[in-house]
Amino acid sequence: MSQCCGSRRKKEFHLIILGGGSAAFSAALKTSELGGKATIINAGLPIGGTCVNVGCVPSKNLIRAAEYHYHANHSPFQGIRAQSKVEDFKALMSEKENLVLSLRQAKYLDVIQGNSRIQIIEGWGRLVNPNTVEVNGDNISGDGILIATGASPYIPPIPGIDKVPYLTNEDLFQLGELPESMIVLGGRYIALESAQTFGRFGTKITILQRSSRILPQESADITHLLTQYMEEEGISVITGVQFQEVSQKGENIQVKALVNGKEKLFEAEKLLVCTGRKANTKGMGLEELGIERDHKGFLKVNEFGQTSVKGVYGAGDVIGEPMYVYTAAYEGALVAENAIKGKQRAFDYSVLPWVIFTDPQVAGIGMDEKEAQEKSIPFEVSKLPLTYVPRAIAARSTKGFIKILRNPETDLILGARILAPEGAELLMELAMAMKYNIPTKEVMSLFHPYLTLSEGIKLSLISFGKDINKLSCCAS
């Protein structure tokens, strides 16, 4: 054998990626890291996808602004009174937009600048075969295709809804003026975060939810308290709604519905639709190739991210729940590695923390009581109201609780649900304990500084075996 043949380089892997969000960029960077090249084909939202453009970034920026405004007007301390007002809503929205633009540039475009292994093409990609995508009249061939085109708002088939100028999360944050009133269809996280934010800015909010309670996937103790807190802020929460018709009346929008069997008419300046998500998979040639999808268009993939067609993968919101920016990034990198190295690494969501950014926040990890019961796993529950947490008492902010499930046979944490201001900051201690099988007695043995919210975790775990009412400060 000649010297040249023995040193011949292995063919460079080429991954074609449809989409421009977190999953797409994560896959492209992993491909580059592993010595391959990636072509990102993006259409629809600008580079960065849902999170940076119309999701996490703008919503959390406005959530924080609304919190500052609300708490300035609602001091829990005697002798302190302040007054805040939304003086310039356009300036607030302009500041939000500048944040979006800066993060899109810094966290996406600048990251791949100068990387010769990654190219971006703006255009609508359509699969020709399992190795070829047509875009802008040209065919691009590669060794694998990743579909990471995300999801968009699902609009329910309510008569008349297509004839009114409704809002979704994709245009809510583009409003130039603060509406006087708004009806919110839906009662899950996007609906609740948006409703509370605009309610705190001064918009009169009415939430209309089909199921018997908001956040129907969560336990009733969370949803009942969160409903109470929202109603205390002046938000009207109406559940058990059967939508009949949507119509325009002058400058306002009307929603006719049945509530507990009685016909009701709701009217507001704006209508915000937050009734779930659908996959962005239409017009991509998937049907012709036999790539399987569900009734909302979400790709059906196995635990390795592979679709029903060899060489074609899916990652991010386009494959359905969980739909978080951090799980999308995780999936994109994992799928790219599987495609390039042939490794069979499976998705693992066994220790997945999540947050709903209401105030107080709803945060969770692992199982709740219902899931433990369904899986016949022995469990016991510790539920600690924040009225027992010194930090919350001192801050006069005691709304909510910390609830932890453990297996009494192994002393391992099964999951947790937290309803608390900044409660999400407690999740990672629990995540570490769950991932590395650390018994609760070991977690309790750690020092938890007095008058920190994290002390609530220790107190919750202590209460598995002791009466919390009989413990002094800095209990151990």
Mean pLDDT calculated for residue range 52-80: 96
| pTM of structure | 0.94
Round to whole Å and give the CA distance between 221 and 148: 36
Residue written as token pair 């849902």: 50
Domain boundaries, the chain: 10-152+278-341, 161-275, 354-467
Tell me the average pLDDT of the chain: 95
The model's pLDDT over 362-407, given as tens digits with 9 standing for 90+, comes to 999 999 999 999 999 999 999 999 999 999 999 999 999 999 999 9
Share of the chain above pLDDT 70, in %: 97
Q: Give 237's strand partners.
A: 207
Start-end of H helices in 168-219: 169-172, 189-201
Structure tokens at 273: 């639709």
Q: Inform me whether the pLDDT recorded for 271 exceeds 90.
A: yes
pLDDT score at 7: 37
Taking the domain 10-152+278-341, which CATH number applies? 3.50.50.60
Mean pLDDT computed over 199-225: 97
Angle at 66 between CA 61 and CA 69, to 5 degrees: 130
pLDDT tens digits for range 419-459? 999 999 999 999 999 999 999 999 999 999 999 999 999 99
CA geometry: angle 272, 273, 277, nearest 5 deg: 145
CATH fold for domain 161-275: FAD/NAD(P)-binding domain (3.50.50)
Which residue, among 426, 421, 394, has the nearest Cα to 229 in the 3D structure? Answer: 421
Same fold for the domain at 10-152+278-341 and the one at 354-467? no
Sheet of 241-249: strands edge to edge? 241-249, 252-259, 262-268
Query: In the CATH hierarchy, which top-level class contains the domain 354-467?
Result: alpha beta
Is residue 476 very low, low, confident or very high in pLDDT (cuts 50, 70, 90)? low
CA 77/CA 56 separation, integer angstroms: 32
Average pLDDT over residues 34-51: 96
